[in-house]
């Protein structure tokens, strides 16, 4: 007869529920206060809380997500608290129940106590569908709190809790006391994001042209906590198929925790960590996580505004080594439970950390890979995409995609000039613009770089390269094509000066946009400098059809054809009159 893969003890489960019943009660109160009560208080004026209710039912409410995480960690700490007391752990493991049964029952009892408040709150949410409002354009409570939406909320909340709970259980098996259990649970759940933030921060600081976001898109998918919170923003893909992937991941963590639990040596309980190897890994990670931002912060404080050169890097390295030594000794003292940690064993383990840190520093701080100076060959580039604050208004904030060989060559020339004049671009300047270059290579990969191009009278080389790029025929055609597209989709056009705005007659649209495109084709360095200075006097406000968006096209005194047309039609005089009246 086959044995069940999961063993279970009703007595142990009842004991856990009897001892820790307050946890699900507190969890329910938290959910009730953050999701149910606000709607009940505005039951007859649902329009007041409709936005808040929509965020809550979509699992994007930070308060509810916080309750999910706290409840999961607290429950895991409670049901495995017997492990962290030498007397109780010896007594409980002397029972006829085997380790597998103890572990399975503890996990299941905790999951049961987590399910109760979530399910109860989900049922109560259904009763909120009767909330009313007299505002016609407000989303109705009957839609937000339908049975299906409430079931989705319950399922998604349990996915978040189950994932955090699984990692917290693993932390409890590895930890030797409740305090370390709690800290380790928070550490394991936040570890991927903290590591990515620290690595990205260092790359942005030392790798010239680095364009990665602080949190790359893929890191947002590592945990359902971030996934659920951001799924409505477009930062992550949405769909039940993605959410369900966290369930086998959490189950795998629990299987690992179960296997580790069987190997726990009871005499090691009440230490910070019951497995020496795991303690070594945690000490290395903790030291790295603390040393990198500490060294970076000190460099910012001590050398504010300094150019990042070899001298800067050496000073950073010295600070990094000092902080690493201090943090490693502290973490080692906590892990070993002793104060005398200066010994040969500690030095050997710190040597392992030093090797790992050295590899990291070589490829970030000292850029041995040549990231900051790398440019592609023209023959390897299929297309290049340009995004710049300089022309973002004219392009509708969409990147310019260039495929011509001449435009690609000029883009690479600009990048090389920006690299060569890095010290100028890092210095303070009156005029500057950010530019992001994305090379779409023929091998299917992409190369991203972001620079700040500043205008300097003493070093105008990079600005000239920028001017040459934006004066390229393909760039001009792309920009004027965008303007033509905006015109074709326009539902209303107005001219604004400061706070005043004047409608442009539809009969004048064709001639106005024709003059504007003609000015764009004769783009010059003076126009680019004026755009850098943000000294635009006027804006053409082009409202797109169906209330999609409004495009703001800058108009300057140097736009000779556009200004001449506006002057001849009397728009400039009338707008100045309106503007002077509004100032009174």
- 258 with 304, same domain: the answer is no
For residues 411 and 466, give the distance between their C-alpha atoms in angstroms, rounded to a whole number: 8
**CA-to-CA dists, residue 172 to 80, 165, 508, 560, angstroms:** 6, 10, 73, 72
For residues 509 and 517, give the distance between their C-alpha atoms in angstroms, rounded to a whole number: 12
For residues 393 and 244, give the distance between their C-alpha atoms in angstroms, rounded to a whole number: 41
Q: Report the candidate in 177, 136, 132, 140 with the shortest Cα–Cα distance to residue 57.
A: 140
pLDDT (average), residues 204-210: 88
- CA end-to-end span of the chain, whole Å? 93
- 231 with 90, same domain: the answer is yes
Residue 536 pLDDT more than 70?
Answer: no
Question: What is residue 457's predicted lDDT score, i.e. its pLDDT?
Answer: 65
Number of neighbouring beta carbons within 10 Å of residue 362: 12
Residue with the larger pLDDT of the pair 465 and 358: 358
- 335 with 383, same domain: the answer is no
For residues 451 and 453, give the distance between their C-alpha atoms in angstroms, rounded to a whole number: 6
| Contact present, 89 and 82 (Cβ < 8 Å) | yes
Asked whether residue 317 is assigned to any structural domain, the reply reads yes
Number of neighbouring beta carbons within 10 Å of residue 245: 14
- 16 with 160, same domain: the answer is yes
Asked whether residue 112 is assigned to any structural domain, the reply reads yes
- 366 with 455, same domain: the answer is no
pLDDT digits (tens, 9 = 90+) for 469-519: 888 888 888 888 888 888 888 888 988 887 788 889 999 999 999 998 888
Asked whether residue 303 is assigned to any structural domain, the reply reads yes
- 398 with 485, same domain: the answer is no
Q: Which residues pair with 542 in a beta bridge?
A: 493, 551
Residue with the larger pLDDT of the pair 58 and 231: 58
SS3 45: coil
Question: What is residue 304's predicted lDDT score, i.e. its pLDDT?
Answer: 67
Last residue of a domain, one of 417, 447, 471: 471
Band of residue 526 on the pLDDT scale cut at 50, 70, 90:
low
Question: What is residue 45's predicted lDDT score, i.e. its pLDDT?
Answer: 79
- Which structural domain, as residue segments, surrounds residue 286? 275-374
- 481 with 555, same domain: the answer is yes
Residue 362 pLDDT more than 90?
Answer: yes
- 564 with 493, same domain: the answer is yes
Last residue of a domain, one of 428, 456, 471: 471
Asked whether residue 208 is assigned to any structural domain, the reply reads no
Question: What is residue 104's predicted lDDT score, i.e. its pLDDT?
Answer: 87
Question: What is residue 1's predicted lDDT score, i.e. its pLDDT?
Answer: 36
Sign of the torsion formed by the C-alpha atoms of 223, 229, 235 and 236:
positive
- 461 with 504, same domain: the answer is no
pLDDT (average), residues 432-452: 88
Residue with the larger pLDDT of the pair 584 and 1: 584
pLDDT (average), residues 30-34: 92
Question: What is residue 97's predicted lDDT score, i.e. its pLDDT?
Answer: 61
Question: What is residue 581's predicted lDDT score, i.e. its pLDDT?
Answer: 67
Asked whether residue 223 is assigned to any structural domain, the reply reads yes
Residue 285 pLDDT more than 80?
Answer: yes
pLDDT (average), residues 35-58: 84
Looking at the structure of the chain, the number of domains it has is: 4
Residue 292 pLDDT more than 90?
Answer: yes
Q: Which long-range contacts (CB under 8 A, 24 or more apart) does 504-508 make?
A: 504/540, 504/571, 508/565, 508/569
Question: What is residue 305's predicted lDDT score, i.e. its pLDDT?
Answer: 60
Q: What are phi and psi of 35, to 5 degrees?
A: -125, -40
Sign of the torsion formed by the C-alpha atoms of 527, 531, 536 and 542:
positive
Residue 95 pLDDT more than 70?
Answer: no
pTM (predicted TM-score): 0.75
SS3 578: helix
Asked whether residue 206 is assigned to any structural domain, the reply reads no
Question: What is residue 530's predicted lDDT score, i.e. its pLDDT?
Answer: 57
Band of residue 546 on the pLDDT scale cut at 50, 70, 90:
low
Two tokens, residue 464: 């000239």
Residue with the larger pLDDT of the pair 223 and 269: 223
- 86 with 39, same domain: the answer is yes
Question: What is residue 302's predicted lDDT score, i.e. its pLDDT?
Answer: 81
DSSP conformation class of 36: I
**DSSP sequence for 480-536:** HHHHHHHHHTEEEEEEEETTEEEEPPGGGHHHHHHHHHHHHHT--HHHHHHHHHT--
Asked whether residue 4 is assigned to any structural domain, the reply reads no
pLDDT (average), residues 374-401: 83
Last residue of a domain, one of 471, 489, 517: 471
pLDDT (average), residues 175-196: 85
Residue 241 pLDDT more than 90?
Answer: no
- 109 with 187, same domain: the answer is yes
Mean pLDDT taken over the chain: 82
Band of residue 72 on the pLDDT scale cut at 50, 70, 90:
very high
pLDDT (average), residues 553-572: 86
- 124 with 221, same domain: the answer is yes
For residues 232 and 364, give the distance between their C-alpha atoms in angstroms, rounded to a whole number: 34
For residues 415 and 376, give the distance between their C-alpha atoms in angstroms, rounded to a whole number: 10
Question: What is residue 161's predicted lDDT score, i.e. its pLDDT?
Answer: 94
Question: What is residue 94's predicted lDDT score, i.e. its pLDDT?
Answer: 58
Residue with the larger pLDDT of the pair 20 and 423: 20
Comparing 100-109, 199-208, 452-461, which segment has the lowest mean pLDDT?
452-461
Asked whether residue 529 is assigned to any structural domain, the reply reads yes
């Amino acid at each position: 007869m086959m044995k069940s893969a999961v063993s279970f003890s009703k007595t142990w489960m009842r004991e856990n529920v009897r001892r820790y019943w307050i946890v699900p009660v507190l969890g329910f109160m938290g959910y009730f206060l953050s999701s149910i009560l606000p709607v009940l208080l505005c039951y007859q004026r649902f329009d007041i809380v409709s936005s808040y209710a929509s965020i809550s039912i979509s699992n994007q409410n930070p308060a509810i997500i916080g309750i999910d995480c706290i409840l999961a960690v607290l429950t895991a700490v409670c049901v495995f608290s017997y492990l962290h007391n030498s007397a109780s752990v010896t007594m409980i493991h002397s029972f006829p129940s085997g380790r597998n049964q103890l572990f399975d029952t503890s996990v299941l009892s905790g999951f049961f106590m987590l399910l109760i408040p979530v399910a109860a709150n989900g049922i109560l949410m259904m009763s909120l569908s009767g909330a009313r409002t007299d505002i016609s354009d407000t989303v109705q409570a009957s839609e937000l709190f339908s049975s299906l939406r409430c079931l989705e909320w319950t399922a998604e909340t349990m996915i978040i809790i189950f994932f955090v709970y699984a990692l917290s259980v693993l932390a409890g098996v590895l930890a030797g006391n409740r305090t370390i259990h709690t800290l380790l649970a928070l550490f394991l759940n936040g570890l991927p994001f903290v590591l990515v933030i620290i690595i990205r921060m260092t790359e942005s600081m030392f790798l010239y042209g680095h364009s990665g976001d602080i949190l790359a898109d893929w890191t947002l998918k590592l945990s359902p906590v971030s996934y659920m919170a951001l799924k409505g923003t477009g930062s992550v893909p949405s769909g039940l198929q993605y959410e369900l992937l966290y369930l086998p991941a959490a189950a795998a963590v629990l299987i690992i925790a179960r296997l580790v639990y069987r190997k726990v040596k009871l005499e090691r309980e009440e230490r910070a960590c019951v497995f020496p190897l795991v303690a070594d890994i945690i000490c290395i990670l903790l030291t790295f996580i603390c040393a990198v931002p500490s060294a970076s912060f000190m460099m910012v404080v001590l050398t504010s505004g300094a150019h990042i050169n070899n001298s800067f890097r050496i000073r950073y390295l010295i600070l990094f080594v000092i902080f690493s030594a201090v943090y490693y000794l502290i973490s080692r003292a906590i892990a070993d439970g002793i104060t005398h940690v200066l010994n040969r064993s500690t030095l050997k383990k710190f040597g392992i950390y030093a090797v790992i840190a050295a590899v990291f520093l070589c490829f970030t701080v000292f850029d041995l890979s040549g990231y900051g100076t790398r440019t592609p060959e023209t023959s390897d580039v299929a297309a290049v995409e340009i995004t710049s604050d300089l022309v973002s208004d004219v392009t509708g904030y969409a990147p310019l995609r260039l495929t011509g060989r001449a435009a690609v060559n000029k883009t690479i020339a600009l990048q090389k000039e920006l690299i060569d004049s890095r010290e100028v671009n890092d210095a303070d300047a009156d005029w500057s613009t950010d530019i992001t270059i994305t090379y779409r290579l023929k091998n299917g990969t992409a190369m991203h770089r972001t620079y700040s191009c500043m205008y300097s009278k003493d070093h105008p080389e990079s600005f000239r390269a920028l001017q040459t790029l934006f004066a390229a025929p393909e760039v001009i055609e792309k920009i004027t094509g965008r303007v033509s597209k905006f015109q074709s989709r326009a539902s209303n056009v107005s001219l604004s000066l400061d706070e005043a705005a004047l409608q442009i007659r539809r009969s004048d649209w064709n001639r106005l946009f024709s003059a504007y495109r003609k000015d764009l084709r004769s783009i010059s360095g003076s126009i680019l400098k004026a755009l850098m200075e943000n000294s635009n006097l006027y804006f053409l406000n082009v409202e797109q059809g169906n209330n999609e968006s409004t495009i703001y096209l800058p108009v300057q005194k140097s736009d000779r054809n556009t200004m001449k047309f506006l002057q001849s039609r009397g728009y400039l005089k009338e707008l100045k009159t309106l503007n002077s009246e509004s100032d009174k």
